[in-house]
Amino acid sequence: MALFPSPNPKNKPSWKLLPILILVVFSLAFLLFRDASNPSQSLASSSSSSSSSSPSSQIVLVPVKNTISVPMTVERLPHDLMTALVHYASTDTTPQQTREEILMTAKVLASRGPCNFLVFGLGHDSLLWKMLNYAGRTVFLEESEDWIRQISEKHPELETHIVEYSTVLTEADQLLEHARSNRKGKCTAVQNLLLSECKLALNGLADELFQVEWDVIMVDAPRGYFPGAPGRMAAIFSAAVMARSRKTGNGTDVFVHDVERPVERSYSEEFLCRENLVEESVTSHLWHFRVLPSPVGRHEFCVASSSSGGSPAN
């Protein structure tokens, strides 16, 4: 397998309405579960006359099996969700991931959201990710200031941060060896990335981003399909350190896209580890890892660290 495969244009199936369907399902689920979790508010609303109801909501009787009908407030979709639906309904640009890949992440966001969601990359699917994590915090890291400007003009509600990569794809082998030889030092699994001296550490981000405990991380950038590209080595390493260094929570769900490419695959195996793969959520292009926090002082990323000794150039 070549180290720098040429990008293969993917045939885009005619499923451009899929994001709309997903947004509708999750939007309605969010609204219904919010009301269901606060029955006192719904019951109080039911005591008001229909003439005094808010113009943005109405009282309906929701039948529940084996019991009486329960009053529930059904509200209109929030404005930003409606805007997203209109956007995807009126654009010919489809998201970069396939239907199956989007649903993999959507299922996790549905179970964990609203949550802290960090996305390496900014693109035509960014608004979709933000809406699927509705009421949570979704942050996008992008290397191109011009691209940030273009996307922000269309979607100013997206939180974006510029990130600078000092790596080059042709140095993937040397950088991997650097990390291995400094496993008990500057490239250890649990550390403060902001102060790290590891060549793979992204420590040029805004300071406050290092204080956030990220629940879900998506690595779908930077570019990694030509020799002079920065590659995703630093993004994968930093995502692994963020997941292992968090102090609370039930771990971090990490997704890596384009794992059919040798660098993405080898770095994922090295730092996110096959023992953390969620096997029922693996495709040929997207891998899903669930990484638990590691105790302070742990140096190794993987339990069987010797099992990932292959070179990314293989």
CATH number at residue 114: 3.40.50
User: Which pLDDT value is given to residue 40?
Assistant: 44
Examine the domain organization and report whether 250 and 291 are in the same domain: yes
pLDDT tens digits, one per residue of 272-283: 999 999 977 678
H or E element, residue 312: none
Sorting pLDDT into bands at 50, 70 and 90, what band is 308? very low
In the DSSP assignment, the letter for residue 52 is: G
Examine the domain organization and report whether 153 and 285 are in the same domain: yes
For residues 97 and 312, which has the higher predicted lDDT (pLDDT)?
97
Q: Is 45 a domain residue? A: yes
Mean pLDDT of 80-84: 65
Examine the domain organization and report whether 137 and 223 are in the same domain: yes
Domain limit, last residue, from 46, 75, 104: 75
Domain limit, last residue, from 75, 108, 137: 75
Q: How many domains does the chain divide into?
A: 2
168 phi and psi, to 5 degrees?
A: -130, 140
Which three-class secondary structure state does DSSP give residue 84?
helix
Closest CA relative to residue 262, chosen from 145, 192, 147, 173: 173
Q: If you count DSSP H runs as helices and E runs as strands, how many of each does the chain have, helices first? A: 9, 8
Average pLDDT, the chain: 80
Sorting pLDDT into bands at 50, 70 and 90, what band is 296? confident
Residues in the chain: 314
pLDDT tens digits, one per residue of 143-168: 999 999 999 999 999 999 999 999 99
Q: Mark out the alpha helices in the chain (DSSP H runs).
A: 18-36, 39-46, 79-90, 99-112, 126-132, 145-154, 172-181, 233-245, 262-271
Please state, for a pLDDT cut of 70, what percent of the chain lies above it: 66
pLDDT of 34 above 80: no
How many CB atoms lie under 10 A from the CB of residue 98?
18
- Structure tokens given for 126: 């960014």
pLDDT of 198 above 70: yes
Domain limit, last residue, from 45, 75, 105: 75
Closest CA relative to residue 130, chosen from 142, 144, 116: 116
Sorting pLDDT into bands at 50, 70 and 90, what band is 74? low
Mean pLDDT of 99-107: 91
2-16, 100-114, 119-133: the lowest-pLDDT one? 2-16
Give the separation between CA 91 and CA 2, rounded to whole angstroms: 35
> Which domain does 71 fall in, by range?
27-75
Examine the domain organization and report whether 60 and 170 are in the same domain: no
Give the Å distances, CA to CA, from 61 to 43, 70, 218: 11, 6, 40
Examine the domain organization and report whether 166 and 288 are in the same domain: yes
Examine the domain organization and report whether 35 and 160 are in the same domain: no
Examine the domain organization and report whether 117 and 51 are in the same domain: no
User: Which pLDDT value is given to residue 81?
Assistant: 66
Strand 57-62 relative to strand 70-75, pairing: antiparallel
61 phi and psi, to 5 degrees?
A: -100, 115
Examine the domain organization and report whether 51 and 150 are in the same domain: no
Give the separation between CA 15 and CA 92, rounded to whole angstroms: 11
For residues 82 and 66, which has the higher predicted lDDT (pLDDT)?
82
pLDDT of 191 above 50: yes
Examine the domain organization and report whether 220 and 171 are in the same domain: yes
User: Which pLDDT value is given to residue 53?
Assistant: 42
Give the separation between CA 81 and CA 173, rounded to whole angstroms: 44
User: Which pLDDT value is given to residue 230?
Assistant: 98
Examine the domain organization and report whether 43 and 178 are in the same domain: no
Q: Is 21 a domain residue? A: no
pLDDT of 84 above 80: no
